[in-house]
Amino acid sequence: MHKLPFRNLTIIALVIVLGITVILAIMIFSYRKANPEKNTPGKPHIAYKINIDSMDMVTGEVSLNENLSSILAPYVSGQIIDKIARETRHIFDVRKIRAGNTYAKISSKDSVHRLLYFIYEMDEIDFIVYDFRDSLRVYSDKKKVTRLNRTAQGTITSSLWNCFLENRLDINLGLSLSDVFGWTVDFYGLQKGDSFKVIYDELFVDNVPVGVDRIQAAVFSSGGKDFYAYYYDQPGGGDYFDNAGQSLRRSFLKAPLKFSRISSRYTASRMHPILRIARPHFGVDYAAPRGTPVVALGDGRINEMGWHGGYGRFISIRHNSTYTSTYAHLSGYAKGLKSGSMVKQGELIGYVGSSGLSTGAHLDFRVYKNGSPTNPLKLESPAANPVDPSTFEKFRKMAAAMKTRLDSIR
């Protein structure tokens, strides 16, 4: 039997030690990667940008009929609650606290459990902090938001709404898409096979998606045409432009509400559903659930607002010396509006209803040109300002790069 030389035994021992060291290093690296909070001993626990290491925090949701007074009554005097309501309204009106929203109570970590902070989340990002440590201090803040650039695409089988549901896409992206192309694509005339591709930014808070930030570029293919849109920030503000640098924004929207269907079109003879007589219908009926928001077709002044016979609750807007639009059978009006009010394009003016001579919830929408009715679905309107010539070359390069990226989406 041969004995290994001492030198060989030393080499084997070194190899074994080295192997064990490598294995331990890999195990430690994997553990730290899976437990990043363990990597920095003593790292403070931060919530709402507050170090709560020496505090207790309890979270909850605002219940139905619950308000700030009922939530804080066990911890804060009625005098302080009254002071909050009166003196901090310019920061946040406590009457706007809504059922279902999240709140947090942070208290001292002792037998007294004195309330130190109360936080109310207005949404996934914005929150209000009530600091009770010394004298009352109230301020608003935001959670840390991460933006990720994403792409999406879809093909219409029945409607844009259903397309987003079928593809499990955020419906808010669909609403943003309809806003971008609201002047160029007829979303009520979409056909099976129409499609879209979009590049957008999605917002995340604590690795949880909280919404769509902005569409950077998109293409909507409808009726055999490709409509491109690129967001470009130039002097005077950002806007969406086509391949030629023309603004997608027009003087008028394609329609005054979203995601409905046309139940009656512009015609010289239609059987009235209640009167049962044939008469002209110089407008478009959009069937939509009661309460659906109705927005102004374009900038203008309200020249009539109120009950208008068979039209029920009614609004008429004069946009310029040529065009006027009307909105009938509303269930109600947006707060603060009256005859003579100025409105902006896309501004909320009312809600779909069935007031007046109506068999069901819908919007009777009409447009008049020089006092005569014109088909809203065939309304042409001039483009807004194009890309500034001094920055067009910069826009052209950006648009070309975005178009290449859009076309590559599969």
Q: Are 282 and 335 in contact (CB under 8 A)?
A: no
Q: Are 242 and 227 in contact (CB under 8 A)?
A: yes
What's the CATH number where 301 sits? 2.70.70.10
| Of the residues 92, 120, 142, the one at which a domain ends | 142
| Segments in 167-234 forming alpha helices (H) | 171-180
Contacts of residue 385, defined as CB under 8 A and 6 or more positions apart, other chains included, come to: 236, 247
User: According to the model, what pLDDT value does residue 137 have?
Assistant: 92
User: According to the model, what pLDDT value does residue 25 have?
Assistant: 67
Question: Which of residues 29 and 71 earns the better pLDDT score?
Answer: 71
CA distance 56 to 115: 9
The reply to whether 138 and 151 lie within a common domain is no
The reply to whether 51 and 95 lie within a common domain is yes
* pLDDT tens-digit map of 277-327: 555 777 889 989 999 999 999 989 999 999 999 999 999 999 887 889 999
Query: pTM for the whole thing?
Result: 0.63
Total number of domains constituting the chain = 3
* pLDDT tens-digit map of 213-233: 899 999 999 988 999 999 999
Instruction: Give the strand order in the sheet containing 146-155.
Output: 146-155, 195-205, 208-222, 225-234, 237-241
Strands, E assignment, 312-408? 313-318, 323-333, 342-343, 348-352, 362-369, 372-374
What's the CATH number where 200 sits? 3.10.450.350
The reply to whether 136 and 211 lie within a common domain is no
| Residue 30 lies inside a defined structural domain of this protein | no
User: According to the model, what pLDDT value does residue 5 have?
Assistant: 61
Residue 270: helix, strand or coil by DSSP? strand
Strands, E assignment, 247-319? 261-264, 267-271, 278-281, 284-287, 293-295, 300-307, 313-318
CA 172 to chain centroid, in Å, comes to 5
Q: Average pLDDT of 40-58? A: 84
The reply to whether 276 and 372 lie within a common domain is yes
pLDDT at 168 over 70: yes
Contacts of residue 346, defined as CB under 8 A and 6 or more positions apart, other chains included, come to: 179, 182, 253, 295, 296
The reply to whether 272 and 366 lie within a common domain is yes
| Residue 256 lies inside a defined structural domain of this protein | no
| Residue 79 lies inside a defined structural domain of this protein | yes
| Residue 62 lies inside a defined structural domain of this protein | yes
CA 394 to chain centroid, in Å, comes to 29
- In terms of residue numbers, what domain contains 107? 46-142
Q: Which of 159-168, 257-266, 342-351 has the lowest mean pLDDT?
A: 257-266
CA distance 200 to 213: 7
Residues, the chain = 410
State the amino acid at position 154 in one-letter form.
G
The reply to whether 163 and 115 lie within a common domain is no
User: According to the model, what pLDDT value does residue 39 have?
Assistant: 47
For residue 304, give both structure tokens. Answer: 């009539």
The reply to whether 87 and 124 lie within a common domain is yes
For residue 230, give both structure tokens. Answer: 């690129």
| Residue 94 lies inside a defined structural domain of this protein | yes
For residue 42, give both structure tokens. Answer: 């003593």
| Residue 3 lies inside a defined structural domain of this protein | no
State the amino acid at position 146 in one-letter form.
T
| Of the residues 142, 158, 179, the one at which a domain ends | 142
pLDDT at 366 over 90: yes
The reply to whether 175 and 119 lie within a common domain is no
Residue 96: helix, strand or coil by DSSP? helix
Q: Burial level of 127, CB count in 10 A (0-12/13-18/19+)?
A: buried
CA distance 158 to 143: 38
Strands, E assignment, 66-134? 102-108, 115-121, 126-131
Among all chains, which residue has been given the structure tokens 């084997």?
12
Q: Are 345 and 381 in contact (CB under 8 A)?
A: no
The reply to whether 196 and 174 lie within a common domain is yes
For residue 213, give both structure tokens. Answer: 């930030």
- Using only C-alpha atoms, the chain has a radius of gyration, in whole angstroms, of 30
CA distance 105 to 111: 16
The reply to whether 177 and 153 lie within a common domain is yes
| Residue 223 lies inside a defined structural domain of this protein | yes
| Of the residues 84, 114, 142, the one at which a domain ends | 142
CA distances from 335 to 230, 283, 338, 366, 379 (A): 34, 26, 9, 23, 29
The reply to whether 369 and 268 lie within a common domain is yes
pLDDT at 210 over 90: no
| Residue 383 lies inside a defined structural domain of this protein | no
The reply to whether 236 and 290 lie within a common domain is no
